[in-house]
Amino acid sequence: MEHFSLYEACHPVKPALTKGRNLFAKPDQREKNTMKIAAAKESSALEARVALVPDTVKKFVAAGITVAVEKGAGLAAGIADSAFEAAGATVAASAVEAYKGADIVLCVDTPDEAGIAAIPEGAILVGMMNPLDPKTDFSALNKRSIHAYAMEFLPRISRAQSMDVLSSQSNLAGYRAVIEAVAATSKTVPMMMTAAGTIPPAKALVLGVGVAGLQAIATAKRLGAVVSAFDVRSATKEQAQSLGAKFIEVAASADAETSGGYAKEMDEDYKKRQAEALAAVIATQDIVISTALIPGKPAPELITEAMVASMKAGSVIVDLAAANGGNYKGTKKDDIVKTANGVTILGYTNMPSRAASDASPLYARNLQTFVMTLMFDKDARGLKVQSDDELIKGTLVTKGGSVVHPALVK
C-alpha cells in the first residue's frame, strides 16, 4: 500500500506532473513550476470557443507549466471542468482567480475591461484582437502594461502554419457557412430521384476562394450541390476546379494577387465586368457563400441590391465578410435579413464559434505551438520570449504601456 503525506493528500499531483519526480520529497525540495498559463470564459456572449482544451493543458503541464482555467470556460465548446482537471489544470472559481500570478493569458477574443483589469500587470496576452479594426481600443491593455500578441498578424510563412489561427478558423467558418445556409433554406441540396418525382440539386455559388471559400466549395459539393466559384486571384481557378466547382472567369488586365498571396483592390473597369458576370449567375442560385476580403480594407462589394432582387424566393446568402462591412451592403452584422422577395441574408460574424467543439481544439493547438515554440525555455522550464523572432515581432501589438506594432503606429 502506498503512503502519502498529509501534504500529498491535500495537493494531489496529476500523472502528467509526476513523471520523473519524487512525490515523497518535501514541497520545497520538489521541482517548481516556473511558469503559469491561464484562460477564462470568453466575455462575449457570441463566443463559444475557449483558448485552452484538455489536450493542450496536458502538453503544458507535461512541460512543467502550471495551468488554470475559469470554471465553465469550456462548457459551450463541449468541455467539462472535470476534463480540464483530469488533464492537470486547476479549475478556478472566477477569471480573477484563474489569472492570479499568470505569466501568460490565452484568449480567443480580447477580454472585456474587467477581464483585462484582472490580468497581472506586465503579463503576456495571446489571442485574436481584431487589430486592424479602427474601433479596436488598446488603452485598457496599455493601462496594465500588457504584452499583447495579436494572432491575426502572424506572418504566413511555412514555419508558422501550425500557429495560423486565421487558417484553422476560416476553414471551419467555410464549412459552417454552408451548414447554416442549408438550415436556412427549405431547398433540398442533393439530387433525389423518387417515385414521386426528381428533386434537382441545389445550386451554390462561392465568392472568394481563400481558406474559407475552398472549404465552403468542398462542403457544398459533399452535400450534393452544383457549385460555382469566383475569385479575383487567377491561382484559385485550378483550386476551385479541383474540388469540383465551375469557375467564373473575369479577365483582369493586371495581376490581382499581392506577393503575400492576398487579393488587391481591383479597378473600376474590372469591377464592372465582374458585376456583369456575377449578376447572370447569382439569379439562378439557391445558396451564395461570400468570403471575399482584402486585408486592411473594407470588404469589396460583390453582391448588389439588383442581384439580390433577381434571386429566387427561399434562396440564402451567407455573408462571411460581415465583420468587415460585408460583400453585400445590406448585410446586418450578427443578424438575419429577410428581403421583400424572400431572400435570407445571414450576417453571423461568429461562424467558427458555431463549430466551437472542433474550432477550440484547433485554435488552442495554434496558441500552444506559438507559446511553446517562441515563449518557453524547455531547459529552464520557464518563460523566455524570443523577442528577435519575426513571428514574435510580427504579432506584438502592445508593450510597456504603448501600441508598438508598425501597422498600428501612425
Contact set with ligand NAD (CB under 6 A): 156, 161, 164, 166-167, 170, 207-213, 230-233, 236, 261-263, 266, 291-295, 300, 302
**Can you tell me which residue has the cell 447554416?**
180
Residue 217 or 292: which CB sits closer to ligand NAD?
Answer: 292
CB nearer ligand NAD, residue 282 or residue 294? 294
Cβ closer to ligand NAD: 61 or 211? 211
Give least dist CB 277 to ligand NAD, A.
11
**Least CB distance to ligand NAD at residue 372 (A):** 19
The residue nearest ligand NAD at its CB is: 210
319/289 Cα distance (integer angstroms): 6
- What is the rounded CA–CA span in Å between residue 79 and residue 52? 10
Based on its alpha-carbon atoms, the radius of gyration of the chain, rounded to whole angstroms, reads 24
Give me the catalytic one of 49, 144, 167, 286: 167
Cell of 7: 501534504
Distance, in Å, from the CA atom of 345 to the CA atom of 311, rounded to the nearest integer, reads 12
161 annotated active-site: yes
Cβ proximity to ligand NAD, 82 vs 161, nearer residue: 161
**Shortest spacing between CB 261 and ligand NAD, in angstroms:** 4
Clarify whether 363 is annotated catalytic.
no
Please spell the DSSP secondary structure of 206-219, one letter per residue.
EE--SHHHHHHHHH
Q: Are 378 and 126 in contact (CB under 8 A)?
A: no
Annotated active-site residue 164? The verdict is yes
Query: Closest separation between CB of residue 137 and ligand NAD, Å?
Result: 24
Of these residues, 99, 103, 149, 164, which one is catalytic? 164
Query: Got the DSSP string for 104-131?
Result: EEEEEE---HHHHHHSPTT-EEEEE--T
List the grid coordinates of 39: 484562460
In this complex, which beta carbon is closest to ligand NAD, that of residue 173 or of residue 397?
A: 173
DSSP E strand boundaries for 214-254: 226-230, 246-247
Tell me if residue 388 is catalytic: no
Say which of 55, 82, 156, 255 is annotated catalytic: 156
Nearest CA-CA partner of 78 in 59, 54, 44: 54
The one catalytic residue in 5, 44, 139, 161 is: 161
The residues carrying an active-site annotation are: 156, 161, 164, 167, 262
